[in-house]
């Protein structure tokens, strides 16, 4: 990075909070996904004004800026090209206001997701979106990615819990979108901004909605001898009229890996488990627990356990939330997918993933948000073996093409980022994408902010829209596909 | 070519796109402006062809669905083509197992609910005039009803959208799965854009199992403050109500089927009351088994005045949804304001209404979603010394001035003569420059709903 630019950056944010030595930059060349690239400098802003000044400086010098929260993203959204500035919001980590009577909090973008909930639990409230990385990931990053989590099945994703945003545009202009009210006059630019993956502006203040803690919560663990029975249960619960707060599935291979790491109490000899959480008034929770248990048993569950107390409940969730970490113990490299399918297609999709696993001779573990059809197959491979690396990508592409053939999506909560940008033309036409670019250009006309993310260049679209490998759809156990 | 000549020549061209039977000269008016020609396309391709024709000639288009909210907004300078979505009324895909539905924009909400009900499902959405309003129109106007309390609004249910830009280019956002972050959220951009950015041609929604049993508890109070205190208690309680509505003393008059209109211009109660109205009602609706309903009843305690269930309950909530429509039918000169405030500012907003309305010879009447801060406020003209056009503007201005910063107060209904004196949309906390630039980026020639929306 140009020394004069670095000097000016230091003038804005302070000497210590600009990194430009290669050994420091190395820490910022990756996120939790698979891509890597070393930025030119990393800048830690402390307030909105500094963000604005950094943006203006970058804009004048035509230097790309990539905003970054905790770097826990899985789609390369925070990865910067070599001459770019990474603008970290990690130091902007203050909760500015907690307004319980209005069920709102105003936070800086660097506030860690779980800390938001911890700060208000004493009032009987929490912040509902709970990505698995919630101990580390930031609200700013959640806003960029429109993050979900296990508990978004009943309560919705980030966009359903954000009512106002202050952001800085690439030219340094500070804008306000929405506020504390649930709705306001004019276009819903708050809603549009959430999930824009840092390509419209850098959020510097976020007004979030706080949710009242439920009176009662219970967690069931349904244990299966066949993964198809577990998958069929997901369909049956959805149809029973009960909407669980969370409905998660782990397959047998994966739960054994998790048990080895954290001893969550998952049965080692099972083919799959469902983790089902119910919350609400205690009468409602009791009734729903009975209904769900009956549905599970009717779908050939071997056993349905119910967490006896809060400690046991937390343990069951610990297993789920640390699943990715557990895999890290086993395999040096894994590739996480984020496809979404209509819920009734869960059984067929799991059968297809098994076929793909055998075809490439790669272990694929399944841990996912079954209730809303959001799959997270984990493809394990040896990163040192070029053939395996290649095969893992091919397997991922086949899984994705199967999701798309069912009318699904390439990403449910991880974002498109850099990783899935080439898949966008399979979901959106050139015109669809061109319209999105037009709106982006209103905010970010030169694409200096987080360039080459989310929307592929039109030129590129034409080159990469070859046919996807044709997905083979086979009926499974009488489930229509 | 003059505009008139352009319209004459376009009629035959439109007929060649959609067939002669689907091009009409309708006697409908939008704030006094009669569209030159009305056209009903039967497919997205026809919408594309129509918009290409009109944008080449720079004619002004107003999209229309069930025609329930066309009077909202500024007085149009002109409307050359009324683009009706009534023939785009198909359900394209409905998978009860997946709890998703894909529909065309002209489908009426009532019809959609009927289809869903066959599978014991629904979309928990009860805006005004639900039977006739179209899904496209409801999206465009970001409509909402009392169920917003428990289930949120269209921005929470709409998982995909298809539209056509003024220039005739098709676009879309989202998809047909319940969780999806691929690409920009075009749904959010289109919902509440009042047809100013694109013509919505279809949308996808998530749907829900319909509650098997519900109950409504009506709780009367002597003052606004007592009612609000009760609301705060309900918020703190373990209850998760589907609806939580505040009904002001004079609003009860409009919660009934339209009676004989005594006086179309002014406040004229069906049954003149001897004493001044002062009863504020908090109405709480819950769902669940007998056991759960009994618990709710216990929690609400002695505040409950009466309970509603079954057909009477359904009808009551239909009346609440249709409050503004009822006000409008009874008094063609009434003003209705959508007021969005924080939960705690509901009191200030209700007091602002009670203050500003009488100052300008209006009777205040409101219903509102007081758990979320979305209020529907009626200003009904008094028969003695009724307000002049200018006074609507002054009244709205006083009312807005009494609201806390960050609130929105959109005048969704008032006599068109009054619209010359003030901005019906009012201020917004959201950056207006960006909104206008987005409008320009998607409709550079300002073809769609020119002069009617904030952009």
pLDDT range class, residue B276, cuts 50, 70, 90: low
Q: Show residues of chain B in contact with A237, CB under 8 Å.
A: none
Give A269→chain B minimum CA distance, Å.
31
Number of domains in chain A: 3
Domain end point (choices A41, A69, A88): A88
Burial class (CB in 10 A: 0-12, 13-18, 19+), B176: buried
Asked if B242 contacts B147 with a C-beta cutoff of 8 angstroms, the reply is yes
Inspect the interface and report whether the beta carbons of A427 and B182 lie closer than 8 Å. Answer: yes
Q: Which run of H or E residues covers position A359? A: helix A346-360
Q: Looking at the structure, do residues A316 and A385 belong to the same domain, yes or no?
A: yes
Q: Show residues of chain A in contact with B239, CB under 8 Å.
A: 281
Q: Looking at the structure, do residues A356 and A227 belong to the same domain, yes or no?
A: yes
Inspect the interface and report whether the beta carbons of B183 and A187 lie closer than 8 Å. Answer: no
Give B306→chain A minimum CA distance, Å.
23
Inspect the interface and report whether the beta carbons of A428 and B172 lie closer than 8 Å. Answer: yes
Q: Looking at the structure, do residues A258 and A321 belong to the same domain, yes or no?
A: yes
* Torsion sign over Cα A45, A47, A49, A51: positive
d(CA A255, CA A12): 49
Q: DSSP character for B30?
A: B
Q: Looking at the structure, do residues A316 and A257 belong to the same domain, yes or no?
A: yes
Facing residue for A185 by CB, picked from B188, B238, B410: B410
Q: What is the pLDDT of residue B256?
A: 85
Asked if A8 contacts A56 with a C-beta cutoff of 8 angstroms, the reply is no
Interface residue B276 vs chain A (CB under 8 A):
no
Asked if B283 contacts B221 with a C-beta cutoff of 8 angstroms, the reply is no
Give B87→chain A minimum CA distance, Å.
24
Give B132→chain A minimum CA distance, Å.
24
Inspect the interface and report whether the beta carbons of B179 and A281 lie closer than 8 Å. Answer: no
d(CA B54, CA B68): 24
Give A436→chain B minimum CA distance, Å.
7
Output the tens digit of pLDDT for each of chain A's 481 residues.
899 999 999 999 999 999 999 999 999 998 888 788 999 999 999 999 999 999 999 999 999 999 999 999 999 999 998 889 999 999 999 999 999 999 999 999 999 999 999 999 999 999 999 998 999 999 999 999 999 988 889 999 999 999 999 999 999 999 999 999 999 999 999 999 999 999 999 999 999 999 999 999 999 999 999 999 999 999 899 888 899 999 999 999 999 999 988 888 899 999 999 999 999 999 999 999 999 999 999 999 999 999 999 999 999 998 888 888 888 888 878 888 899 999 999 999 999 999 999 999 999 999 989 999 999 999 999 888 999 989 998 999 999 999 999 999 999 999 999 989 999 999 999 999 999 999 999 999 999 999 999 999 765 554 544 555 444 444 334 333 3
d(CA A347, CA A365): 15
- From residue B266, how far is each of A85, B107, B414 by CA, in Å? 64, 35, 13
Buried b vs exposed e over A1-26: b needs ≥16 C-beta within 10 Å?
A: beeebbebbbebbeeebbbbeeeebe
Q: Looking at the structure, do residues A161 and A27 belong to the same domain, yes or no?
A: no
Most confident range, picked from B2-6, B113-117, B273-277: B113-117
Phi and psi, residue B242, nearest 5°: -70, -40
Inspect the interface and report whether the beta carbons of B238 and A238 lie closer than 8 Å. Answer: no
- CATH code, domain carrying A105: 3.30.465.10
Interface residue B275 vs chain A (CB under 8 A):
no
Q: Looking at the structure, do residues A185 and A299 belong to the same domain, yes or no?
A: no
pLDDT range class, residue B275, cuts 50, 70, 90: low
pLDDT range class, residue B258, cuts 50, 70, 90: low
B416 contact partners, CB below 8 Å, separation of at least 6? B31, B32, B71, B75
Q: What is the pLDDT of residues B147-179, one digit of tens each?
A: 999 999 999 999 999 999 999 999 999 999 999
Range of the domain at A124: 95-212
Q: What is the pLDDT of residue A474?
A: 41
pLDDT range class, residue B284, cuts 50, 70, 90: very high
Interface test with chain A among B163, B430, B437, B448, by most A beta carbons within 10 Å: B430
Interface residue B229 vs chain A (CB under 8 A):
no
Q: Looking at the structure, do residues A286 and A221 belong to the same domain, yes or no?
A: yes
Inspect the interface and report whether the beta carbons of A181 and B340 lie closer than 8 Å. Answer: yes
Inspect the interface and report whether the beta carbons of A431 and B169 lie closer than 8 Å. Answer: yes
Give B192→chain A minimum CA distance, Å.
6
Pick the CATH number of B1-210+430-455 from 3.40.630.40, 3.30.465.10, 3.40.50.300, 3.20.20.70: 3.30.465.10
Q: What is the pLDDT of residue B237?
A: 95
Interface A-B, measured as beta-carbon pairs within 8 A, has a size of 255
Q: What is the pLDDT of residue B235?
A: 96
d(CA B298, CA A306): 29
Q: What is the pLDDT of residue B354?
A: 96
Q: What is the pLDDT of residue A268?
A: 93
Q: Show residues of chain B in contact with A343, CB under 8 Å.
A: 97-99, 178
Give B321→chain A minimum CA distance, Å.
18
Give A377→chain B minimum CA distance, Å.
16
Q: What number of other Cβ atoms are within 10 A of residue A460's Cβ? A: 15
d(CA A464, CA A430): 12
Q: Looking at the structure, do residues A336 and A239 belong to the same domain, yes or no?
A: yes
Q: What is the mean pLDDT of residues B92-111?
A: 96
Residues 330-359 of B with CB under 8 A from A: 340-344
Q: Show residues of chain A in contact with B182, CB under 8 Å.
A: 409-411, 416, 420, 424, 427-428
- Given a cut of 50, whether residue B53 has pLDDT beyond it is yes
B102, β-bridge pairs: B93, B204
Q: What is the pLDDT of residue A331?
A: 83
Q: Looking at the structure, do residues A39 and A56 belong to the same domain, yes or no?
A: yes
Q: Looking at the structure, do residues A197 and A104 belong to the same domain, yes or no?
A: yes
Give the domain ranges of chain B: 1-210+430-455, 214-421
Is A28 part of a structural domain of the chain? yes
d(CA B235, CA A366): 39
Asked if A59 contacts A48 with a C-beta cutoff of 8 angstroms, the reply is no
Q: Which residue of B has its CA nearest to A409?
A: B180
Facing residue for B179 by CB, picked from A196, A344, A413: A413
- CATH code, domain carrying A8: 3.30.43.10
Mean pLDDT of chain B: 94
Asked if A194 contacts A131 with a C-beta cutoff of 8 angstroms, the reply is no
Q: What is the pLDDT of residue A481?
A: 34
Inspect the interface and report whether the beta carbons of A103 and B408 lie closer than 8 Å. Answer: no
Inspect the interface and report whether the beta carbons of A283 and B188 lie closer than 8 Å. Answer: no
Q: Looking at the structure, do residues A387 and A244 belong to the same domain, yes or no?
A: yes
Q: What is the mean pLDDT of residues B293-307?
A: 96
Asked if A161 contacts B151 with a C-beta cutoff of 8 angstroms, the reply is no
Q: Show residues of chain A in contact with B295, CB under 8 Å.
A: 281, 283
Starting from the edge strand earliest in sequence, which strands make up the sheet with B243-247, in order?
B306-308, B214-221, B280-287, B243-247, B362-369, B374-381, B335-340, B408-413
Q: Looking at the structure, do residues A198 and A226 belong to the same domain, yes or no?
A: no
Interface residue B298 vs chain A (CB under 8 A):
no
Inspect the interface and report whether the beta carbons of A439 and B189 lie closer than 8 Å. Answer: yes
B229 contact partners, CB below 8 Å, separation of at least 6? none
Q: Show residues of chain B in contact with A410, CB under 8 Å.
A: 182
Q: Show residues of chain B in contact with A239, CB under 8 Å.
A: 96-97
d(CA B149, CA B147): 5
Inspect the interface and report whether the beta carbons of A342 and B176 lie closer than 8 Å. Answer: yes
d(CA A188, CA B139): 12
Is A461 part of a structural domain of the chain? no
Query: Is residue A474 classed as helix, strand or coil in its secondary structure?
Result: coil
Facing residue for A185 by CB, picked from B97, B426, B438: B426
Buried b vs exposed e over A410-446: b needs ≥16 C-beta within 10 Å?
A: bbbbbbbbbbbbbbbbbbbeeebbebbbbbbebbbee
Q: What is the pLDDT of residue B261?
A: 61
Q: Which residue of B has its CA nearest to A149?
A: B179
Facing residue for A432 by CB, picked from B155, B172, B409: B172
Tell me what ipTM this predicted complex has: 0.96
d(CA A378, CA A370): 15
Facing residue for B429 by CB, picked from A178, A283, A429: A178
A48 contact partners, CB below 8 Å, separation of at least 6? A166, A168, A174, A204, A205
The domain defined by B214-421 folds into: Alpha-Beta Plaits (3.30.70)
Domain end point (choices A405, A438, A454): A405
Query: Looking up tokens 């990385």, which residue turns up?
Result: A133
Q: Show residues of chain A in contact with B165, CB under 8 Å.
A: 435
Q: Which residue of B has its CA nearest to A428?
A: B172
Inspect the interface and report whether the beta carbons of B182 and A438 lie closer than 8 Å. Answer: no
Q: What is the pLDDT of residue A40?
A: 94
Give B152→chain A minimum CA distance, Å.
9
């Amino acid at each position: 990075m140009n020394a004069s630019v670095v000097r000016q950056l230091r003038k804005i944010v302070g000497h210590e909070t600009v990194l430009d030595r290669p050994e420091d930059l190395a820490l910022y060349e990756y996120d939790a996904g698979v891509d890597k690239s070393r930025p030119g400098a990393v800048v830690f802003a402390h307030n909105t004004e500094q963000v604005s000044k950094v943006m203006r400086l970058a804009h004048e010098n035509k230097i790309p800026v990539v905003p970054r929260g905790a770097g826990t993203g899985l789609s390369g959204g925070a990865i910067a090209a070599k001459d770019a500035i990474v603008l970290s919001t990690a130091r902007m980590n203050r909760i500015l206001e907690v307004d319980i009577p209005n069920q709102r909090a105003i936070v800086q973008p660097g506030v860690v997701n779980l800390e938001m909930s911890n700060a208000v639990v004493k009032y009987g409230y929490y912040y509902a979106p709970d990505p698995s990385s919630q101990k580390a990931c930031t609200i700013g990053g959640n806003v960029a990615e429109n993050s979900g989590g296990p508990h978004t099945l009943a309560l919705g994703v980030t966009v359903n819990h954000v009512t106002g945003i202050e952001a800085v545009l690439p030219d340094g202009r500070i804008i306000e979108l929405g506020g504390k009210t649930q709705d306001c006059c004019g276009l819903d630019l708050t809603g549009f901004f959430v999930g824009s993956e840092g390509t419209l502006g850098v959020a510097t203040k976020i007004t979030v909605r706080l949710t009242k803690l439920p009176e009662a919560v219970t967690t069931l663990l349904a244990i299966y001898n066949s993964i198809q029975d577990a998958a069929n249960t997901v369909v049956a619960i959805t149809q029973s009229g009960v909407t669980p707060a969370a409905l998660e599935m782990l397959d047998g291979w994966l739960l054994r890996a998790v048990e080895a790491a954290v001893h969550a109490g998952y049965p080692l000899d099972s083919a799959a488990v469902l983790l089902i959480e119910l919350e609400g008034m205690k009468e409602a929770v009791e009734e729903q627990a009975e209904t769900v248990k009956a549905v599970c048993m009717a779908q050939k569950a071997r056993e349905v356990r119910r967490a006896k107390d809060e400690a046991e409940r937390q343990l069951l969730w610990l297993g789920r939330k640390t699943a990715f970490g557990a895999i890290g113990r086993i395999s040096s490299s894994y590739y996480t997918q984020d496809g979404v399918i209509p819920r009734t297609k869960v059984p067929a999709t799991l059968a297809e993933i098994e076929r793909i696993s055998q075809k490439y001779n790669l272990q694929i573990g399944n841990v996912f948000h079954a209730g809303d059809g959001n799959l997270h197959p984990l493809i394990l491979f040896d990163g040192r073996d070029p053939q395996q690396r290649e095969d893992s990508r091919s397997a991922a592409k086949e899984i994705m093409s199967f999701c798309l053939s069912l009318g699904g999506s390439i990403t449910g909560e991880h974002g498109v980022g850099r990783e899935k940008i080439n898949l966008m033309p399979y979901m959106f036409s050139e015109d669809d994408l061109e319209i999105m670019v037009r709106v982006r250009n209103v905010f970010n006309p030169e694409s200096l902010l987080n360039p080459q993310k989310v929307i592929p260049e039109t030129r590129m679209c034409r080159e990469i829209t070859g046919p996807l490998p044709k997905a083979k759809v086979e009926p499974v156990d009488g489930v229509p596909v | 070519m003059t505009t008139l000549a352009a319209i004459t020549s376009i009629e035959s061209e439109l007929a060649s796109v959609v067939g002669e039977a689907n091009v009409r000269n309708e006697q409908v008016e939008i704030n006094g402006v009669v569209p030159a020609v009305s056209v009903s396309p039967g497919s997205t391709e026809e919408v594309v062809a129509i918009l290409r024709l009109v944008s080449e000639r720079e004619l002004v288009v107003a999209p229309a669905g069930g025609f329930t909210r066309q009077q909202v907004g500024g007085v149009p300078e002109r409307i050359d083509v009324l683009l009706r979505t009534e023939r785009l009324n198909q359900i394209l895909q409905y998978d009860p197992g997946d709890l998703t539905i894909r529909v065309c924009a002209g489908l009426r909400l009532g019809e959609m609910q009927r289809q869903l009900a066959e599978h014991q499902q629904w979309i928990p959405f009860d805006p005004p005039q639900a039977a006739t309003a179209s899904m496209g129109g409801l999206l465009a106007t970001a409509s909402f009803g009392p169920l917003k309390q428990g289930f949120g609004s269209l921005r929470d249910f709409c998982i995909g959208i298809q539209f056509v830009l003024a220039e005739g280019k098709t676009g879309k956002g989202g998809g047909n799965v319940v969780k999806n972050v691929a690409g920009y959220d075009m749904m959010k951009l289109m919902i509440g854009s009042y047809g100013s950015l694109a013509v919505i041609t279809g949308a996808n929604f998530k749907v829900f199992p319909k509650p098997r049993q519900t109950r409504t508890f009506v709780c009367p109070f002597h003052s606004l403050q007592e009612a609000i205190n009760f609301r705060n208690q309900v918020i703190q309680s373990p209850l998760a109500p589907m609806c939580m509505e505040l009904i002001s003393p004079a609003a009860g008059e409009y919660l009934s089927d339209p009676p004989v209109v005594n006086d179309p211009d002014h406040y004229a109660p069906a049954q003149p009351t001897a004493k001044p109205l002062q009863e504020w009602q908090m109405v709480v609706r819950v769902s669940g088994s007998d056991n759960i309903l009994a618990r709710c009843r216990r929690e609400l305690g002695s505040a409950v005045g009466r309970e509603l269930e079954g057909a009477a309950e359904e009808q009551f909530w239909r009346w609440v949804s249709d409050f503004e429509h009822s006000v409008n039918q009874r008094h063609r000169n009434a003003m209705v304001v959508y007021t969005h405030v924080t939960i705690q500012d509901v009191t200030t907003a209700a007091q602002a209404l009670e203050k500003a309305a009488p100052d300008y010879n209006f009777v205040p009447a409101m219903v509102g979603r007081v758990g979320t801060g979305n209020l529907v406020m009626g200003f009904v003209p008094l028969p003695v010394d009724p307000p002049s056009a200018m006074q609507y503007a002054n009244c709205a201005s006083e009312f807005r001035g009494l609201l806390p910063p960050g609130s929105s107060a959109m005048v969704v209904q008032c006599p068109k003569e009054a619209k010359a004196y003030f901005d019906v949309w009012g201020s917004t906390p959201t950056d207006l420059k960006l909104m206008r630039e987005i409008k320009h980026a998607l409709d550079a020639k300002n073809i769609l709903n020119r002069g009617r929306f904030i952009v």
